[in-house]
Every structure is written in structure tokens, then in C-alpha cells.
Copies of this chain bind each other. A is one copy, B any other.
């Protein structure tokens, strides 16, 4: 279980500070709603220095995007290795079944701005967000294929669609975590909330949620 920042030295340079502060503010309120002066103030530097280091506000946005994307790449890589290796073991089966959502949540320290930034990234239609999603979809599909081969996943007639279904469901829990906590009382950031959630997920994915009243397929376009 590696951390998400493997090789990056702990640089406390002004440039890195600005990028990190910007990440937090962008995640919280969206890049457009945050001013350069605000970032500079929070980082303890002058507004001009922000532009000096990143060229423009959009340059800073791109730098933050890239840093976040790199973090996600690391997670995907780590998850890919662990998942593919563990798929053939009994523990791997359990881990694989709930891997995407839970491993994702476990990859960040509590209070990390990354999930919030991911929300903005996917919402805004940013190409970086699409790239991350594509990477995850790829991983999800490969993982599902391995789980099917290992006899853990029940084969589906439309594997891409099923991989997408499972991926999107996991992501939704991350995207709607605030509402889930405030409205449903299920805080995924606490062990208790995560445990309740995981229990339902594994139960539904293992045994289904509804009793099929009719195994025949009769759904035309109605």
C-alpha cells in the first residue's frame, strides 16, 4: 500500500507552495471563482510572483491539472499492479471486487483537496478530466476481464458496458460524497461510513438487489 506521491521530493519552494495552495482553492470553489490575488495572499507571496512562475493564471491551472493527473496516474499504476496480481488469489477476489472505489478513497489522506478537484475536473469537461476517466475506464475493463478469467466475476455479454457501469458507480460515490454525508448520514471518509457503504456494495454486487420476476428479456423501446 504505497502513498500516492512516490518520487517527488518534499519541495517547499515558493513555486510549489503556490501550486499547492491553488490546488486547494480550486478544489474548493472552482478555478474561475478564485482570483490570482487570493492565491497569492494565501501563499504569502505577491500576485506578480504567481504570474512570474506560471506565465498566466491559465498556466497555473494547467500546472495544477498536470500535478493532479500525475497523482492519479500513480494510483492507477499501483492499483493496476495490485489488482492484476491479486485477481488470482482469494483475497484478491474480495479486494478486486471493491477495489476501485475503496482503494481510491484509501489513497488520499483525510482532508485532501484531490477528490474535490476531481469533481471540478469531471464537471467542467476539461480534457484532463476526460483523460483521467479514460485511463480508469481502461483499467476497469482490464481488471474485469481478469476477474472474469479468474472466475470471480460473472461474465457479462457486454463487458465494456459492464466495466463502465461498475466504474461510474464507484466514481459516483466519490462525486456525491458531500450529499451522501450531509443528507444520508453516510460519511465515506469515516471508517464507519465506508464500512456501511462497502457492505451494501459487496452485497448487491454478490447477490443482486432485486429478485428477477421474469428471466426472459422483453424490453423493446418503450
In the assembled complex, the Cα of A124 lies from the Cα of B122 at a distance in Å of: 11
Contact residues in B for A78 (Cβ distance below 8 Å): none
A169, chain B: closest CB distance, angstroms: 5
Contact, CB under 8 Å: A208 / B206: yes
- The residues in A between 128 and 168 inclusive whose CB is less than 8 angstroms from any CB of B are 129-130, 133-134, 137, 147, 151-154, 156-158, 160-162, 164-166, 168
- The residues in A between 175 and 200 inclusive whose CB is less than 8 angstroms from any CB of B are 175-176, 178-180, 182-186, 191, 195-200
**Secondary structure class of chain A's binding surface, majority of residues:** helix
The 4 closest A-B pairs by CB, nearest first: A172-B172, A206-B212, A164-B184, A123-B123
List 13 interface pairs A-B (beta carbons < 8 Å), by A numbering. Answer: A97-B210, A130-B178, A130-B182, A133-B176, A152-B211, A158-B196, A161-B200, A164-B184, A165-B197, A165-B201, A168-B169, A171-B176, A206-B209
Q: Which one, A13-21, A61-69, A213-221, is touching chain B? A: A213-221
Is A207 on the interface with B (CB-CB < 8 A)?
yes
CB within 8 Å for A199 and B161 given contacts A97-B210, A154-B207 = yes
Contact, CB under 8 Å: B212 / A195: no
- The residues in A between 76 and 106 inclusive whose CB is less than 8 angstroms from any CB of B are 90, 93-94, 97
- Return the chain B residue nearest A192 by Cβ: B221
- The winner among A129, A133, A134, A164 for most chain B CB atoms within 10 A is A164
